[in-house]
Structure formats: C-alpha cells, structure tokens
Amino acid sequence: MNIEPELCRVEDTLDVLVGKWKPIILLYLLKNGTMRFNELKKSIPDITQKMLTKQLRELEEEEIINRVVYPQVPPKVEYSITEYGKELEPILHAMHEWSNRHIQQKQKNQMKK
Amino acid sequence: MNIEPELCRVEDTLDVLVGKWKPIILLYLLKNGTMRFNELKKSIPDITQKMLTKQLRELEEEEIINRVVYPQVPPKVEYSITEYGKELEPILHAMHEWSNRHIQQKQKNQMKK
DNA sequence: CGGCATCCCTTTTGATACTG
DNA sequence: CAGTATCAAAAGGGATGCCG
C-alpha cells in the first residue's frame, strides 16, 4: 500500500522528532522513566541549557512528554514520556536499525572504490 | 528492548530523511517508480528548482536514490529509489500512521479545554 | 535548580537571473 | 530540460548573564 504523497503526514512526525536533540531526549526518558532537568543535562553533555529547555517545551507542547513542577525551593522539575509518546518507540527503533544497515551499506560501497 | 541512548543511530536516519522535502520526494518516487526532474517539480509545486536539485543530490549521496542522465538534447534525467532506499518505506508508513493518531489525539485534547 | 533574555554567528532556504 | 550562480532573508543554535 502506498501513502498518497499529497496526503502525507510523514513531515508532521518529523516535525515532532526533529530538533537535533529530541530523539536522544526521548530515548533517555524511555529508558529511565522519569528524569529531572539536570539529570538530562548531565546525560547529554553537549546540549546547552537553552536548547534543552526549548526541546523539552516543544515535546511538551506536542504532548509527547509530561512536565511536572514541584513548587519548592530549590525547584524540582520532572519529565516523563506520555503513554501516547511511547507509541513513538517502534519508530525510533526502526530508524535505529535502518541506520545500522545504512552504515554497513556505505562501508561496502566504499570498498568497491 | 531499549536502544542505548549513547549508541543511538536514530539521528542518522533523521539526517537522511530531514530536509523539508525529502519525505515527499521519496513518497513520489516510491509511488511512481521512475520520474524525471520536471515531473517531480510539477508534483511538488512549492519547491524551488534549487531546493529540488539540492535534496536530490543529498539523497543520491546517501544512495537512497538513483540518478540517471541521458546524454541528449534536451537533457533527460531520471530519478528512482534504490533497493536499499525502499527499506525506508515501512518507516515512512509508521510515521504517517503515528501522525494521524497524533492529530486525533490533539483534537480530543482541544475539546477538553 | 531550572529556567528566561539578550546578543551574535552560522546554516538553511528562497527569489531571481543565467546557461549548456 | 535540468540545472548553476548570486544575493538576500530567515531560521537554528551557542555564549553569557540574570532571576525566583
């Protein structure tokens, strides 16, 4: 079965996943369940605070993740994946596997040259 | 089973798929088989010539599509998906379906408000 | 601790004109 | 027909400082 290109929603999913850091954020949350802001920050050393905040807000907006603020000092904010966001997991998996094949394929073709 | 976030290759697949026009180009080629440059251009009215050229070059570089030039006047260039690129189809499908659920989910949540 | 605001630079994309 | 080339606009992303 084909997707009619005119009716394609692939781009909408890409919009959700794209943002340079979103997949890795989601993978961490899928793996660890609930994580605090700084846990994520430490897990992804190269991300800036600004970017982490921004990506989390966008994921929250799309209802892929939950954001829970504990009104205390010092502040505590926990992030977790929504039930609905978990449905992205097979897609992330498929992309991961495809990419592993992709790497091998490219290496083969390198050797031909 | 989890993907270890540190070893994640999802981003590499996204690199291949992302480019604002790549999914729709791939869907057209999956649907129609072989297409000429101008066929693609007409099918995707909003894309500029420059962008179409660029995206096609990038897909070719990743060996997702074939580019065949017929040395004649006027020129004729045909594009098609490689066997290997076809393996992306299930992923495109899964994203399409997820996105349809995504839309419905958001509409539900709109009504609550 | 978990942000937001500001400034600045780089990359991406678009419009337009030209060519083998 | 299938592109390049050039210029301009917009988006993306990093560094730093301040705040409740």
> How many whole angstroms separate alpha carbon A7 and alpha carbon B65?
22
- pLDDT grade, residue B104 (50/70/90)? confident
Dihedral over Cα of A102, A104, A107, A111: its sign:
negative
A27 lies in some domain: yes
Q: Is A112 helix (H, G, I), strand (E, B) or coil?
A: helix
Q: Cα(B92)–Cα(B40) distance, rounded to whole angstroms?
A: 19
Closest partner residue to B99 (CB to CB) among A9, A63, A84 is: A9
- Identify the pLDDT of residue B15: 84
Residue A113 domain-assigned?
A: no
Domain enclosing residue A49, as ranges: 5-87
A49 in contact with nucleic chain D (CB within 7 A): yes
Q: Is the CB of A50 under 7 A from strand D?
A: yes
Q: Please indicate, yes or no, if residue A102 is contained in any of the structural domains.
A: no
Environment class of B91 (CB within 10 Å of its CB; exposed 0-12, middle 13-18, buried 19+): buried
Query: Which H or E run contains A6?
Result: none
Question: How far apart, in whole angstroms, are the C-alpha atoms of residue A60 and residue A41?
Answer: 17
- H helices of chain A, in order, are 10-17, 22-32, 37-43, 49-61, 89-112
Q: What is the CATH number of the domain that holds B19?
A: 1.10.10.10
- Tokens 């290997």 belong to which residue? B84
Q: Is the pLDDT of residue B113 over 60?
A: no
Q: CA of A86 vs C1' of C17, distance in Å?
A: 49
Q: Output the average pLDDT for chain B.
A: 91
Q: What is the pLDDT of residue B74?
A: 92
Statement: residue B65 has pLDDT above 60 = yes
Asked whether residue A62 is assigned to any structural domain, the reply reads: yes
Mean per-residue pLDDT over chain A, rounded: 91
What is the separation, in whole angstroms, between the first and last Cα of chain B? 37
State yes or no: pLDDT of B7 exceeds 60.
Answer: yes
pLDDT band at B112 (very low <50, low <70, confident <90, very high): low
Lowest average pLDDT, out of A11-15, A54-58, A60-64, B68-72, goes to A11-15
List the one residue out of A20, A19, A55 whose CA is nearest residue A37.
A55
Helix (H, G, I), strand (E, B) or coil at B56: helix
As a whole-number percent, the residues of chain B with pLDDT over 90 amount to 68
Residue A108 forms part of a structural domain: no
Q: Is the pLDDT higher at B37 or at A21?
A: B37
CB-strand contact B52/C, under 7 Å: no
Residue B95 located in a structural domain? no
In a domain, A94, yes or no: no
Sort B45 into a burial class: Cβ within 10 Å, 0-12 / 13-18 / 19+: exposed
Label residues A49-71 b or e (16+ Cβ within 10 Å = b): eeebeebbebbeebebbbeeeee
Residue A107: pLDDT over 80: yes
Q: Which nucleotide is nearest to B78 (CA to C1')?
A: D2
CA of A49 to C1' of C8 (A): 17
Residue B73 within a domain: yes
When pLDDT is cut at 50, 70 and 90, the band that residue B96 belongs to is very high
pLDDT of residue B1: 67
Could you report the per-residue pLDDT of A62-103, keeping only the tens digit for each?
999 999 999 998 999 999 999 989 999 999 999 999 999 988
Comparison of pLDDT for B18 and B74, the residue scoring more: B74
Determine the pLDDT at residue A92. Answer: 94
> How many independent structural domains does chain A possess?
1
Give the pLDDT of residue A62. 92
- B91 contact residues in A (CB cutoff 8 A): 91, 94-95, 98
